[in-house]
Amino acid sequence: MIKDMDKEMYPRYELSKLLNITYSTKLVKILNEYNINPISKDTRNIEYYKKSDTEKLLKIQSELYEYYQTNFVTYNEGIRLGVSAHSLSLSNPTELPIIARVKKYCNIRTVYEKRLVNVALERKALLNNTSYYTRREVSLLFKVVCIERFLKSNNVEPIIINSKSGSYNRWDKNEIDSLFKRREKLYNYYDQNHLTYKEVSKLLNVKMVSSYTIKSNGLILDELPSLAKFNRFKKTKVAFRKSSIDKYLKAKKEKGEKRQEAKGKKKYLNLKESKSKRKDFILKKGKSGCQFIEEGNLKNKHLLLRDISKVLGLSKELVVLALQENEITPRHVISNVKWYSKDEIYKLKEAQNSLLTKFENEYMTFIELRSLNISGNSIQKFTARDLPRLIKIGKFKNSKVVYPKNSVDEYMSQMRREQLQKEITKDIALPYATYERLIVALEISFSANAPLTQKYWFSYVQQILNKTKGNKQSVKKQIIRFASITKLIANITKSKEIFSYSVKELNLLLFNHEIFLEYQMTLFSFFNAINNAMPTALIGVGKINNPYEVKRRKGIGKKEVYSPTEFIELLDYIKDIKLHKHNAIKDINSALNDRDTYKKYDSAWLYVLLHMNNGWRASDFAYKIPRLDLPDKIRSISDFENTNLGLEDARYIVVQLSSKLQSLKHTKNQKTNYFFCSDELIPPLANALIICELRTRLLGTNKHYLIDFMNQRNEMLKGTHDSLFTNFKKNFIFGSLKMNRTFIGLMTDVVKKKTKRNPLEISKFIRNHSDLDTTNTYIDIPKEHVDYIASQLFDKGYFGYTYDLFSKVLLGETSISSDDPLRKSAVIKDIFGDIYKIENLARYINVIEQEDEDLFHYLNGHSENALQEKMLLLNFGQLPAKEANYQCIYGKCIFLDRDCNKCPFAVPHFYALTKIAANMEKRIIDYLEIHENSKYLGEKVRISNLLFSDLIVLSHAKQKFGADVLSAFIKIEYDDLKEQISALPSPYEYITIERG
């Protein structure tokens, strides 16, 4: 507390001095924050404050200052302690209260929690400890991803180090270094003394080294130790001992030379008279005539081709070509034998050694690239260079071209980054935490010169990732994209903050054709976020090259759709059961012999079939089509190959799928994802589902979902696509989003042509596509195709007395006869007559049938056109009721206290059966409980009415869809349900006339 607080009130300037707040704006904010008001003003308009208020502010300031000094550090304090800017940003950045911004906090706005800073320091010290290696350091050292398993197999165990912040696995540096040296020594030994099967096959110019060649020529195979299995030996179990190969090649060469020598002897001149002279002289023919040259002098200064071959280590054919390339010609030609200058040849040898060193340092062979697990397709992307013939020795012996080592290193570095990304992004339960792990692993960090850029960028990323609702793949992609942009921002802010750059500089650095448009759009949004967080805009975004405008001008994202004719052609093609069933089964059988030949035809067929009737996102198809139970008669792919699936079995399969998909949500907006299959597509869809289920069992993929394209994103790749559409029209490309837009566009046009409703609002409502922008998706369906396309797109899964009566009235029926199957009594006698004596219900039935009679007259009171439109709207799902999966033909509820399942104007949908069945199970239990224990008549009446109303709805469903289909959907055998009901105490005396 400040001494000499003896005044009763203090003028504002003294209050400012006591608080050590010199800026009037700060003082105003403090006074407002703590609701301190002046008690008077003097003639000079100076405000005065009460002593008690002044003491209150001083006490608050003292306590807050002490608290933050004890528990927090400033940015500069953290940096001096050795904490990185990134670690500080993760240490609970906290805004200082204005009243505490005095003394050392005078110009400080943000402080960082000391406890977390100490944890960061402790972790840094631990990581910098030269006695240990971290997991990542060991992984990079050995270039092994699953490093724990690798080390354990070599008897190296981790050291568990405990600290305040948690436990860490570390490895003893001496032990790791020793293992690394041992591995390098072991590898070098096998690298120098052994050859792989592929290398020997190429050396011997055979496809594969046969066991006969190995045994008959004494070729020796050695088993490789696991520690040496990397680089060129990565996938090698045994390797040939190089000495045995050299011995074999030497013997082979000697045989060839002996044969050649035998031929050469025949060419020698048989000059008997000059035998003794020929030992010392060689006859040379020249322009000036014949002359003898002393053989000793010739051999001292010249070499023959075979000698040059030994000097250069090249075959005679390559020697000839190498000499031509280097413009070296023979000095003498004697009896057709060419002699070359030794000086020139040894200079060529020096050039060979120099060139060989250069290429060994700067280039790699195809075999070396394959030993690094680089695919052939990836190798083709490298710029190949023709290998000079002069250095086709050693590892270059069988190579025609070589590849730049710097390109390979860059590729391998990229592969390691991608592998790291895959490992880290496996768990994205907390997207921002995954992003943080990723940038640390990729060693991306901001400079100390850009703390504010770092703060605002991390805050922006956190805000976006915390709100993301995409599927797993899209979230992964977003995290990786943010990491890449972080690297980009960190690189350009090494010297100063991002907002210290001029607009011109930002356009040159970030908003140009070399930066991905998606990155530019993210950065543009980020800059807007910075401006919104500041009192005044720091970045002139109005003058930045707007990437959204660039996208608009280029027409990127133009909404392409299939024409109605293309849709119908595709529908006709994809429903061809005979063609696709044969091709899918053939593909699966092929996969049993060779998995690499598998085209995933069955998954592609199912994938496209589902798209034809459902406007879902691709990921909803890829990850949410569940496994199915098959009928007992379908046990194997061979059995099903010769089986023609009946319509009832097909319906059973599709209904089972429908039942399992009821809880399906859109991955993006989490709205209900209703499943629909038109009558025409039930048989092909059922066949595709069965084949996919059999394939899943047969190939043992152990998947939870039926569509399996066997790649990381589970997406249909080009090979699979082309396999499915090989018999369709040329150049056709199937696109998921394009089909979704087509689906919405077709629905919109059907609604527009057949009703008076707003087609855009209806199309969004029908399939819950509020997240899909369809503003510019227009399709004009020819008149002759409207009804057919409507039958493929809109759900007719409605049933029941009201729906059937509606159809009856539309057909012109004007009355209901006593034996009409629509009558409730007929339905109940047909379905439940074997359980209850129907006469006991006569009074109740008379009342509900009177209501049905009223409904009949209500419908007859409308014109045919009005009824037609109402029936269309009902089938389009545009007459919603109070309860889900019901439609109200009245259009507006007039029985507010009545449940839909007891209302004559409500039409149930097939999906309503699940809820009804679930209610039935509960109501049977409640029914028994109430009838046995309750003393209240009202409870018995209520539960009896509810039970009986549900029975009527289920009876209509059974009548329309059949007992098997109904049982599959409600997940209880229909006959079992009847038995449960028949065992209940009689409900008749409690069923009332009132239906509410």
pLDDT in tens, 411-459: 888 888 778 777 887 778 888 988 998 888 888 999 999 999 999 999 9
What is the rounded CA–CA span in Å between residue 386 and residue 396?
11
Confidence of residue 293 (pLDDT cuts 50, 70, 90): low
Phi/psi-derived region of residue 533, left when phi > 0, alpha when psi is between -120 and 50, beta in every other case: alpha
Confidence of residue 764 (pLDDT cuts 50, 70, 90): very low
User: Looking at residue 720, what is its pLDDT?
Assistant: 93
| Tokens read off for 250 | 């030497």
Nearest to 904 by CA among 859, 848, 958: 848
Residues 6+ apart with CB under 8 A from 859: 805, 806, 809, 867, 889
Is residue 352 within 8 Å of residue 362, measured between CB atoms?
no
Q: Does residue 838 carry a pLDDT above 50? A: no
Give whole-number Cα distances, 849 to 756, 798, 809, 824, 893, in Å. 33, 21, 16, 7, 20
Give the predicted TM-score (pTM) of the model. 0.49
CB-based burial of residue 557 (10 Å sphere; 0-12 exposed, 13-18 middle, 19+ buried)? exposed
Confidence of residue 992 (pLDDT cuts 50, 70, 90): low
User: Looking at residue 846, what is its pLDDT?
Assistant: 58
For residues 274 and 522, the model is more confident at: 522
Q: Cα angle at 233 between 230 and 239, to 5 degrees?
A: 150
The sheet that has 94-95: what strands, in order across it? 72-73, 110-113, 94-95
User: Looking at residue 772, what is its pLDDT?
Assistant: 46
Mean pLDDT score, 519-539:
87
Bridge partners of residue 626, in order along the sequence:
705
User: Looking at residue 13, what is its pLDDT?
Assistant: 84
CB-based burial of residue 611 (10 Å sphere; 0-12 exposed, 13-18 middle, 19+ buried)? buried
Residues 6+ apart with CB under 8 A from 604: 709, 716, 720, 721, 723, 724
Beta pairing, strands 47-50 & 94-95: unpaired
For residues 815 and 205, the model is more confident at: 205
Residues 6+ apart with CB under 8 A from 29: 98
Q: What phi and psi, each to the nearest 5 degrees, are found at residue 40?
A: -165, 170
- DSSP assignment of 735-786, as one string? -HHHHHHHHHHHHHHHHHHH-SS-HHHHHHHHHT-TTS--TT------GGGH
What's 880's DSSP letter? B
Is residue 222 within 8 Å of residue 213, measured between CB atoms?
no
Confidence of residue 281 (pLDDT cuts 50, 70, 90): very low
Rounded CA Rg of the chain:
43
What is the rounded CA–CA span in Å between residue 11 and residue 631?
92
For residues 162 and 532, the model is more confident at: 532
Mean pLDDT score, 892-919:
77
User: Looking at residue 289, what is its pLDDT?
Assistant: 42
Q: Does residue 854 carry a pLDDT above 80? A: no
Q: Cα angle at 739 between 734 and 741, to 5 degrees?
A: 145
User: Looking at residue 759, what is its pLDDT?
Assistant: 53
Q: Is the dihedral of CA 870, 874, 878, 883 positive or negative?
A: positive
Nearest to 454 by CA among 506, 494, 501: 494
User: Looking at residue 174, what is its pLDDT?
Assistant: 81
Q: Does residue 897 carry a pLDDT above 70? A: yes
Give whole-number Cα distances, 937 to 21, 204, 919, 987, 989, in Å. 78, 98, 21, 12, 10
What is the rounded CA–CA span in Å between residue 352 and residue 393?
10
User: Looking at residue 683, what is its pLDDT?
Assistant: 95
| Of the candidate ranges 7-21, 626-640, 679-693, 784-798, the one whose mean pLDDT is the lowest | 784-798
The mean predicted confidence, pLDDT, of the chain is: 79
| Of the candidate ranges 111-125, 348-362, 517-531, the one whose mean pLDDT is the lowest | 111-125
Residues 6+ apart with CB under 8 A from 616: 610, 666, 673, 740
